[in-house]
Each structure stands twice: as C-alpha cells, then as structure tokens.
Amino acid sequence: MGTQSQIYAGAFADPVFAAQSVFRTLMDSFARPGTIGRLSTQSSPPSPLGNASGAVALTLCDQDTAVWLSPALAKSAVSQWIAFHTGACVTEAKDEARFAFFEKGAAVPGFDQFALGTQEYPDRSTTLVVEVEALTGGQPLVARGPGIKTEIVVAPKGLPDVFLDFWTANRAIFPRGIDLVLTAEDSVLCLPRTTKLERE
Amino acid sequence: MNDLATYNFAYLDEQTKRMIRRAILKAIAIPGYQVPFASREMPMPYGWGTGGVQVTASILGPDDVLKVIDQGADDTTNAVSIRAFFQKVANVAVTTKTVEATIIQTRHRIPEEPLKEGQTLVYQVPIPEPLRFLEPRETETRKMHALEEYGLMHVKLYEDISRNGHIATTYAYPVKVEGRYVMDPSPTPKFDNPKMHMSEALQLFGAGREKRIYAVPPFTEVVSLDFEDHPFEIQTFEKPCALCGAENVYLDEVVLDDRGGRMFVCSDTDHCEDRRAHGHAGSMLASTQHQRKEPAE
Ligand SMILES: [Zn+2]
C-alpha cells in the first residue's frame, strides 16, 4: 500500500459504535487495573503503530489533544494518519502532549519528561500508550490499589528494565503523574497512576 | 424518517463524548478529584441531572441496560423523563430491576441491592465541591484540595457536635476517598455512604452546571469523616418497612390520610417490590390483607 492510501485507510468502519466500545473497554480496564481488556473493534494504522494503539488514538484523540509520537512513529505515516483521522496535532514537546504513543520495542523515556499535571490540576497530564510484545509472560509484578480487590499479578512482556523505577517514581508524586495504557495485538492493560507495583 | 435519525447516538456529538470520556478516565485515575469538563446544553434544565445525563450518554452503548432512579424510585417525573430520553436517543434497553441494569443513573440514593462488577452507578450532582459552603472561591478550594487542607471541614463538623451533641449533617455527608481527596457523595442520605466503600461497581459523578466529573473506582476506600469521640453513624429506623418488612434499609415517610396516619416504606421501590414478590410482607400490607378478608368471614 502506498503512503497516501495508508494515511486515508484504516480508521473505524463504524466510528460512533466502535469508539463507544473501545472507550468502554478502556474505562473498565482503568477501573480494574491489571485486567486485560480485549477490543472488539479493530483499526489498521500504518506500521509501526499497532492495531490496539491505533484504536485508542481514534477513540480519545482530537483537535483538543496534542499528541507526541516516538521517533520511529514520527518518521512514519502514523503522524499523518493520526492527524487525518483524529484532527490531533503532533507535538515535539513531550510535556505539552495529552497522549504519547510508542511502537513495540521503542525506548521509553523517563515519565517525568511528560506532562504530570499540577497539584491543583493533576488531570492535565499525559497518557502514555505503549505497545509491548505481549500483555502476559513477562516479569511478574504484584499490583495493588484502587480497582483491585486485594492484589493482582501483571506480567507485561517487553517493557524496558527501568520501567519499575519509572513507575515507582510516578506513583510517589500522586495525585500528579502519567497514566499508562499497555497494548498488544487487540488488547489493552491499563495502569492508572494509583496502582502500586512491586516485584513478586 | 423518524426523529431518531436527526440525533447522533445518545444525543451528544462525538467530540463532546470524547471530551467527557477523557475526563472520565482521568477521574478514575485520580479517585475523588473533580475533573473540569466543558458541560454542554442538554434538552432539559439544570437540576434535572444534566451532568449525570452527559456522563451516561458518553458511556452508554447498544448492549447496555439502563435503570434511572430518583430518591430511590423509578417512577418519579425526573426518572421517567431521563429514561424516556435515552430510549428515544439511544434506543437503549431499560429496566427497573437493579440486578438487571448495567448502568444506573441516580439522584439521591444508592440501591439497597449490593452492586456488582460490571455495573456503573452514575450520580447526578448539584454541587460537587464539598468545601464550597466553607469557601466560595474556586481558586481557594482548589488550593485546599491541592494541599490536603481539610481542617476547616473538620471544624464545621465539630461545630455541629458542639451545637447538637452529634453531627447533624444527614445528606451529602463528606467522605475521604483512598485517604486523599475529600469528596461530596452528592445529596444521598449518609445512610448510603458505607455502600460506596469497596463497592464492586464503578461510581461516576457528573455535575452539569458546575462542570465537574469525578469517580470512585471499584474496590476503593471511601471513609465518612468523623472524630474519635463522635464516630460516623448512619440513620436508623425504629420499625421495618410497612410494606415489605425490610430492616436495615432507608425508609421514606408516607402520609396516609389527613388525620395524621402515616407509614414508613422503602425508598428503594425496586427493592421493596422484589421483596414483596418473594412473599415478604410488612405490617401495613398484612393488615390491609387482613381487613379485606374480614367482610367474607
Ligand atoms: Zn419495603
């Protein structure tokens, strides 16, 4: 497929109901951190953005949400795909982005480089959408916090080694902080800033 | 062409839904914190739950089953209008049964039946800021939340105690969420506060006029503010429901005649009907049945 047709194709076939369905999966997944939510609707963004990450972009991004893209995504047709289908403008300033997208295997910089919100407006923060190799099968981490009855083990595969340090630092500045959507294939695992993670 | 074709699904345009959906996700990530949002005009006046309606419209899908209650009842004008609105603009299935609903929009009550995973309770909120009556300036209340300066709230509750011998606040009784934010549970009776604690359901709060959305995720700590020497207590009722005999539920007073006759019945009408359908009878129901039998004897 040529670059132009990649840019114009791959959005939701039925945007109203697809966005509702993807949002509900995200809402349930943020309300129950550590559970894996399967998206019932697919998008087909240009490589290297994954399908689930593309669906998150189509569901939540628009002209009111500046988007930051990893270097590889920024160089690809993804930049124009997001701009065309959502109206969001792509920014190079991490701390101005409401959403930040990373393809599988991309280097993830320290979370404190993104918008963390302020003590008065902790909601003015970046949500990171990070595609990983798989949502299971990695280093097991015990998750606790709101939305989790006692504890739940999460084991996303393909996160950088420093992830736990980044996350612990993020948890320490609550109510400020980033929120995280991990994606793989057609599924998501959401970690709101309230979730505490520890090695098993 | 019928009227429905002229509406977007669930009335709101997609951009508004996206904005509200983003606010809901932030609200879930910061339990008890009031997220500002750009509230839209709805085809009903403020005070009719426009905040709750916008939240419901933004989460609702074709597979949902919606229940709407006002003061615990499904059949008040407010509840009937909102239910009819969503039937019209979203063609959604509706129910009066708590157990069947996936989304319950409410004003002033939490159902008696414990809510389950997969259910979402949407509260209509008139005044979202629990500190507003202590401090009218938004910039100041925001600072108080930012610094966790909740001393004034405790002073106000303690003034209650010194004046009345107990905490007189019975509605919109302030809670602390996950040990951080003081939150207004909306004008529900304090009887319902314990139901918010570690609920299996997701709780979303929408204030239309004040343009705020906040949330309590499932399994989240919700503690009513109190003092060691004056612990939080819920209302108690002397008699069980006159219709279904339920104890430990919230009762409304119903005037029976102009000679001072009255009875106390479940405010949650679905709960009361369900109990009666299962053979439970309160004193009033038992006595009317008894009276009806008498002429035949
Ligand atoms: Zn009853």
Which residues does chain B have within 8 Å of residue A118's beta carbon, measured at their own beta carbons?
146
**Nearest chain B residue to A181, by CA:** B25
> What own/partner pairs with CB < 8 Å and gap ≥ 24 does A111-117 have?
A111/A166, A111/A167, A111/A169, A111/A170, A111/A177, A111/A178, A112/A169, A112/A170, A114/A68, A114/A178, A115/A178, A116/A173, A116/A176, A116/A177, A116/A178, A117/A175, A117/A176, A117/A177
pLDDT score of B23 more than 80: yes
Tell me which residue range forms the domain holding A152.
3-185
Quote the pLDDT of residue B293. Answer: 42
For residue A61, list chain B residues with Cβ-Cβ distance below 8 A: 18
Express each pLDDT in A65-93 by its tens digit: 999 999 999 999 999 999 999 999 999 99
Contact: B180, A16; criterion CB under 8 Å: no
Identify the band that residue B250 occupies on the pLDDT scale cut at 50, 70 and 90. very high
Percent of chain B residues topping a pLDDT of 70: 94
Note the pLDDT of residue B260: 86
Nearest to A20 among B27, B61, B217 (CB): B61
Task: Say what the alpha-carbon torsion angle B187, B190, B195, B196 is, to the nearest 10 degrees.
Answer: 50
With respect to residue A140, please indicate whether it lies within any of the assigned structural domains: yes
- Whether A16 is covered by a domain: the verdict is yes
pLDDT for the residue B39 = 86
Query: What is the value of ipTM here, to two decimals?
Result: 0.98
The reply to whether A10 falls in a domain is yes
Tell me, yes or no, whether A50 lies in a domain: yes
Choose from B22, B24, B180, B204 for mutation: most chain A CBs within 10 A. B22
SS (H, E, C) chain B: CCHHHHCECCECCHHHHHHHHHHHHHHHHCCCCCEECCCCCCCCCCCCCHHHHHHHHHHCCCCCEEEEEECCECCCHHHHHHHHHHHHHHCCEECCCHHHCCEEEEECCCCCCCCCCCCEEEEECCCCCCCCCCCCCHHHHHHHHHCCCCHHHHHHHHHHHHHHCCCCCCECCCEEECCCEEECCCCCEHHHHHHHCCCCCEEEEEECCCCEEEEECCCCCEEECCECCECCCCCCCCCCCCCCCCCCCCEEEEECCCCCCEEEEECCHHHHHHHHHCCCCCHHHHHHHHHHHHHHC
Whether residue A42 has pLDDT greater than 90: no
pLDDT of residue B287: 59
Average pLDDT over residues B18-35: 98
Residue A199 lies in a domain: no
Contact B33 A123 (CB under 8 A): yes
- Counting the structural domains of chain A, the total is 1
Residue A17 and residue B62: Cβ atoms within 8 Å? yes
Residue A198 lies in a domain: no
A26 contacts in chain B (CB < 8 Å): 25
pLDDT of residue B285: 80
Predicted pLDDT of residue B292: 43
Give me the residue from A24, A60, A175 closest to B180, CB to CB: A175
Interchain proximity A19–B18, CB inside 8 Å = yes
Looking at per-residue pLDDT, the higher value among B110 and B284 belongs to B110
Q: Mutation test of the interface with chain A: which of B17, B25, B176, choosing the one with the most A Cβ atoms within 10 A?
A: B25
**Residue A126 CB partners (closer than 8 Å, separation 6+):** A68, A94, A95, A97, A98, A99, A100, A114, A115, A116, A178
Q: How far is the CA of A124 from the centre of ligand 1 (A)?
A: 46
- Considering only CB atoms, which chain A residues are within 8 Å of B4? none
- The two three-digit tokens of residue B119, written as one number: 């259910």
The pLDDT, as a whole number, for residue A2 is: 67
Residue of B nearest to A127 (CA): B26
Give me chain A's average pLDDT, please: 96
User: Confidence class of residue B15 from pLDDT cuts 50, 70 and 90?
Assistant: very high
Q: In the numeric block, which tokens belong to residue A176?
A: 């400020």
With CB atoms and an 8 Å threshold, state whether A123 touches B36.
yes
Q: Is the pLDDT of residue B296 over 80?
A: no
The arithmetic mean of pLDDT across residues B160-180, rounded, is 89
Assign B276 a pLDDT band (cuts: 50, 70, 90). Answer: very high
Whether the predicted pLDDT of B290 surpasses 70: no
Residues of B in contact with A179 (CB under 8 A): 25-26, 29
Residue with token string 């399967």? A38
The number of angstroms, rounded, from the C-alpha of A88 to the middle of its chain's C-alpha atoms is 16
- Judged against a pLDDT cut of 60, whether residue B5 lies above it is answered with no
- Whether residue B213 is predicted with pLDDT greater than 50 in this model: the reply is yes
Nearest CB neighbour to B61, from listed A24, A98, A174: A24
Residue B234 has pLDDT above 50, yes or no: yes
pLDDT at site B40: 87
Inform me whether the pLDDT recorded for B125 exceeds 90. yes
Taking residues B118-135, what's their average pLDDT? 94
pTM exceeding the 0.90 threshold for the entire prediction: yes
Tens digits of per-residue pLDDT, B257-270?
889 889 999 999 99
Q: What CA dihedral angle connects B190, B195, B196 and B201, to 10 degrees?
A: -150
Matching residue, tokens 């003081």: B182
Q: How many CB pairs under 8 A join A and B?
A: 108
In the reported structure, the alpha carbon of residue B225 is separated from the centroid of ligand 1 by a whole-number distance in angstroms of 29
pLDDT recorded at residue B294: 40
Identify the structural domains of chain B with CATH numbers, from first to last. Answer: 14-224 (3.40.50.11310), 251-296 (no CATH)
| Mean pLDDT, rounded, for B79-84 | 95
Q: Do A120 and B143 touch (CB under 8 A)?
A: yes
Cα of B67 vs centre of ligand 1, distance in Å, is: 19
- Read off the CATH number of the domain in which A180 is found: 3.40.50.11310
Rounded-to-integer distance, Cα A69 and Cα A71, Å: 6
Element at A130 (helix H, strand E): strand A127-131
Distance CA B135, CA B152 (A): 9
Is A193 inside a domain boundary?
no
pLDDT band at B62 (very low <50, low <70, confident <90, very high): very high
Q: CB-CB: which of A24, A64, A147 is closest to B59?
A: A24
- Report pLDDT digits (tens) over A118-177: 999 999 999 999 999 999 999 999 999 999 999 999 999 999 889 999 999 999 999 999
- Within 8 A of B142 by CB-CB distance, chain A residues are 120-121
Q: Which residues of B are catalytic?
A: 32, 241, 244, 266, 272
Whether residue A101 is contained in a domain is answered as yes
Of the pLDDT bands very low, low, confident and very high (cuts 50, 70, 90), residue B162 is confident
Is residue A4 scored above 90 in pLDDT? Answer: no
Question: CB–CB of B202 and A146 under 8 A?
Answer: no
